[in-house]
Amino acid sequence: MSIFIDCDTRLLVQGITGRDGSFHARQMIEYGTQVVGGVTPGKGGQKFDGKVPIFNTVEQAVRETGVNSTVIYVPPMFAADAMMEAADAGIPFIVCITEGVPVLDMTKVYPFVREKGARLLGPNCPGLISPGMSKVGIIPGGICKPGPIGLVSRSGTLTYEVVFQMTRADMGQTTCVGIGGDPINGTNFIDCLAAFEADPQTKAVVMIGEIGGTDEQEAAVFVKKNMTKPVVGFIAGQTAPPGRRMGHAGAIISGSAGTAAEKMEAFEANGIGVAKRPIDVVELLRNR
């Protein structure tokens, strides 16, 4: 099994005719994802690559194709409207890949999406993949393989590295989820951990965190109180200097809060195996 997406996922691509949207739409289709429609205002009635129907609005796409998920590749200034349009149209699962969405915009989007009963993944995330079933976003399908390990990560690049090492060690994955590192995002570690705990095919979970904030510490407490499956983790930014922004908007250390050391200590205190290097995740999984 998997979490959030599977063989029944019917995907809409918002921004399907743009540079990024068109490239990754082809990648998702090639992987086997059911891409049933795209949205680009003003290009309704056309077909993407001669096959996928394009609509002017998300509402039209939902009405005519029965989509149950959408992925957003639009510029930052339009991303908030795209997320809210999808939620308003009744799509239950929304993935926003767009980087650079203003935090002020997300203070409006987040409550709106929740009010509509939808789940948002992102923004500024690589999306997710359930190997052998469906891929939504930009995670390379070639580095993944089906198996019993779930993965949730704040770091896109480290997601790829750890998944590659797991696959090379013949440790396949149920679902790999990149939640993104922005200060306000739709789905967090705890959401994914709870979903993996409920998935009977997931036997262990890898959690990849990074400096900044307290999400990893809160997730560690959740693991100890609610998880029966083994969890191992890695924290990026172990050599980052305090007070300096590192990569993501959320990766800022304030005083002692949000340091790699603090997060690693929280992991260890709550029974999560801690990897010193990404490649060490494989050995930790073997010993659990």
- Catalytic residue numbers? 248
187-216: burial string, b at 16+ Cβ within 10 Å, e else = bbbbbbbebbbebeebbbbbbbbbbbbebb
Q: What is the DSSP string of 177-191?
A: EE---SSS-SS-HHH
Q: How far is CA 92 from CA 1, 22, 66, 273, in A?
A: 19, 23, 11, 34
Contact assessment for residue 140 and residue 160, using Cβ atoms and an 8 Å cutoff: yes
Q: How many residues belong to the chain?
A: 288
CA distance 15 to 259: 37
CA distance 184 to 111: 11
- Nearest to 156, CA basis, from 181, 173, 136, 175: 181
CA distance 215 to 188: 8
Residue 248 tokens, joined = 């993501």
Q: How far is CA 172 from CA 7, 43, 177, 248, 280, in A?
A: 17, 40, 14, 28, 16
- Cross-strand bridge partners of residue 204: 149
Q: Which helix (H) or strand (E) holds 150?
A: strand 146-153
